[in-house]
Amino acid sequence: MTAELSPMDKAKYAAARRSVDFVEDGMKLGLGTGSTAAWMVRCLAERVKTEGLKLTCVATSRRTAELATGLGIRVVPMDDVKWLDLTIDGADEFDPHLNLIKGGGAALLQEKIVATASDRMIVIADAAKEVAQLGAFPLPVEVIPFGWQTTKALIEETLYSLDVLNREVSLRLDRDKPLKTDEGHYILDLNLKRIGNPRQLALVLNQIPGVVENGLFIDICDIVVIGNGDGRVTVRDINSGMVEDVAIDVAQTVNIFADLGD
């Protein structure tokens, strides 16, 4: 790892490096999507190479599958394993109860399927992702293309009866066209500013016709690994109450991460 890495990248690396310590030989493992998850895949590949770990992995997106396969990690379809021992993924926000907003990378549907089909979920994040209350990050909602404007209008109408601070809904674009997920769906981003009752919002959104899934992950995450720019890492286990602080050496690592960006 070079000295040119920003504090943010060092934080992502530190969290990723600590998270793969939870991986054991023979595990069935879910691999998340996003910039922090990409660091984790690289760190995992190092362990596979140096320790000879035998893992069966399921990726939450095509780009994660391509990265992992290219690094020598075995990736199989979800239906081949059905259930996983552990999933490691990033998050756009997490609150004190380890409720999450995910979907900034447009892979929330597969991420939620994989995470809920795992005995444990570990979230890796830099310290900036921790919030007292969810909602500053726009909430992604995956919708089918057919009638998406009607679905958008229904969401906007529904938000007036819910405890949110703002009600702006926008279609996520890829240049000048609607962004399409791996499943061919669209993403609506809900700029809510504050979500007073995440559980209620998640349930209500999924009742709206046209909505496939929303980016609120409630009672799914078990452990969060929080990285800081100086290499310090905090591990919190929501089930046991354990809090662990460790230091990760980010200076002596081989520079195999230079091509990773946000």
User: Catalytic residues, which ones?
Assistant: 111
The backbone region for 141, taken as left when phi is positive above 0, alpha when psi lies in -120 to 50, beta otherwise, is beta
**Which residues lie closer than 8 Å to 159 by C-beta, 6 or more apart?**
167, 169, 190, 192
The backbone region for 183, taken as left when phi is positive above 0, alpha when psi lies in -120 to 50, beta otherwise, is alpha
Nearest residue to 262 (alpha-carbon basis) of 3, 87, 69, 8? 8
Q: Which position has the token pair 């943010």?
A: 8
> Using CA atoms, how far apart are residues 121 and 135, in angstroms rounded to an integer?
21
> Using CA atoms, how far apart are residues 230 and 98, in angstroms rounded to an integer?
23
**Which residues lie closer than 8 Å to 136 by C-beta, 6 or more apart?**
93, 193, 194
